[in-house]
Homo-oligomer: A and B are copies of this chain.
Amino acid sequence: MTSPRVLDVGRWEPNASGRLRQAAMELYLERGFEQTTVAEISERAGLTARTFFRHFADKREVLFAGSGSLQEQLVGALAGAPDSASPMEAISAALAAAATVLGQHREYSRQRQSVIAANVELQERELIKLASLAVALAAGLRRRGVDDANASLAAEAGVAVLRVAFERWVSETEDQDLLQVIRESLDQLRTLTADG
């Protein structure tokens, strides 16, 4: 005796997560984040709300679902930097990993940025994710033997560079390499502090 409901629990939906993200982004851009419901996102994706909640805790998390894995990759790249690397060289390795992950999705990034810019709650969420990234990078530097103050400073500086470079990259009219923009921003920070 199998009911449709029971079947639905295990039903395989090809790329459900990607379809939900796409549908959510379309709706957030069309009518705004606040005016969009999970029911509408699921319907647009041709899926059920049940399936939505198997992939995302709520409509906000659709926009932030990748940040945990991004953070893991950055922390992994930091740990993988050569022992001889200085703190900022290790941070640069982490930022290069960020460029590899984020650099493939410029149009999605641009859309996401405009949705976030329109909503204070989302901006706050983004800030908290970036702060959590800085904390994770500082912990990674301490594991490399860097002292507290230097670890925090290098991590915060790295996140500042990532954020400024990312915003520049997303808003540029011409297609640029994110890694290149990150390197330029690191150089800018070096010049700024040398002249300070």
Contacts and interface: CB of A to CB of B under 8 A. Distances in A.
Interface of A: 86-89, 91-92, 124, 127-128, 131, 148-150, 152-154, 156-157, 160-161, 163-164, 167-168, 185-186, 188-190, 192-196
Nearest to A152: B164
A117 to B, nearest CB: 12
Stoichiometry, as copies per complex, reads 2
A160 B89 CA distance: 18
A172 to B, nearest CB: 11
Given A91-B196, A152-B160, A157-B157, 14 more contacts: A87-B192, A88-B193, A89-B195, A92-B196, A124-B124, A148-B168, A152-B167, A153-B161, A153-B164, A156-B163, A157-B192, A186-B196, A190-B194, A194-B194
B196 A190 contact: yes
B153 A189 contact: yes
Which applies to chain A's interface (DSSP): helix, strand, loop or mixed? helix
B188 A153 contact: yes
Contacts of A188: 149-150, 153
Contacts of A196: 86-89, 91-92, 186, 190
9 contacts: A92-B196, A149-B188, A150-B192, A152-B164, A153-B160, A156-B163, A157-B157, A157-B192, A186-B193
A192 B128 contact: no
Contacts of A193: 88, 157, 186, 189-190, 193-194
Contacts of A131: 127
Contact of A164 (B86, B91, B156, B194): B156
A45 to B, nearest CB: 31
